[in-house]
């Protein structure tokens, strides 16, 4: 019996690596680390140890792992890591409605809730041109609530493909979120899964699927930004799931 050939040195492999920290979070990590060092230097160990844990959490919050984006021009990928908490037909937000936006008819909205333990770097669900970025100041209610889409601080994005199809999505601040950060501007070209912004700290992202498109995720399912396929444009055979 012959033994299988050993892998050659040119065989592609993937190894786990520690996710890098997004530059947006470095100043917060330095502040937390400085406070930790000061408490330790002052011999306040009862405070230094918890602060060291907070420093590690801040570093984990701003982690920005590499994602492998599925390829396909009709795929809508998840813009956020988190839990699918709402799937319902709703009118588009007025900032993205009308002929130059998503229209005025109800569209399926998929809401992804991000806890403070999830990756908070958000990504574009499709490739295209950023046509609209609209920021609205608001409240800081629990982002898991339906009315957060209308009451909370939020930022709308409208991305248009070369064929004119548009997908809208919204970053929504939550109870402890106090800043929506944007990495792109209107008329920028973005790839599917490209980083477009983040929210500090704990929040939600809504995605408005094009007409005639059903979600391929279920309530209670966890999504991975840039990797999980939310929907296939033009396919209305939605997915069903069973939590167990």
| Active-site pick, 105, 124, 203, 243 | 203
Whether residue 203 lies in the annotated active site: yes
Could you tell me the strand order of the sheet in which 121-123 lies? 121-123, 195-200, 179-182
Q: Which two tokens stand for residue 233?
A: 């444009």
Beta bridge partners of 206: 111, 170
From the list 201, 202, 153, 185, the residue with the least C-alpha distance to 25 is 201
Distance CA 59, CA 84 (A): 25
Contacts of 110 (CB under 8 A, 6+ apart): 84, 86, 87, 206, 207, 209, 215, 217, 230, 231
Beta bridge partners of 168: 158, 208
Active site positions, annotated: 203
């Amino acid at each position: 019996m012959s033994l299988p050939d050993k892998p050659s040195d040119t065989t592609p492999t993937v190894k786990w690596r520690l996710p890098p920290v997004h530059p947006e979070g470095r100043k917060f990590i330095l502040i937390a680390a400085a406070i930790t060092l000061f408490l330790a230097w002052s011999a306040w160990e009862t405070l230094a140890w918890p602060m060291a844990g907070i420093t590690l959490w801040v570093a984990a919050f701003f982690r920005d792992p590499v994602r492998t984006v599925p390829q396909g021009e009709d795929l809508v990928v998840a813009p956020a890591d988190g839990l699918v908490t709402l799937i319902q037909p709703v009118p588009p937000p007025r900032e993205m409605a009308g002929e130059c936006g998503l229209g005025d008819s109800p569209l399926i909205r998929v809401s992804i809730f991000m806890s403070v333990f999830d990756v908070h770097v958000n990504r574009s669900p499709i490739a295209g041109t950023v046509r609209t970025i609209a920021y609205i100041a608001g409240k800081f209610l629990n982002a898991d609530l339906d009315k957060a889409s209308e009451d909370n601080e939020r930022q709308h994005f409208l991305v248009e493909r070369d064929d004119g199809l548009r997908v809208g999505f919204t970053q929504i601040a939550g109870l402890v979120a106090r800043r929506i950060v944007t990495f792109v501007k209107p008329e920028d070209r973005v790839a599917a899964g490209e980083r477009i912004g983040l929210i500090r700290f704990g929040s939600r992202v809504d995605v408005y699927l094009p007409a005639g498109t059903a979600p391929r995720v279920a309530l209670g399912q966890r999504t991975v930004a840039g990797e999980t396929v939310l929907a296939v444009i033009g396919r209305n055979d939605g997915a069903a799931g069973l939590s167990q």
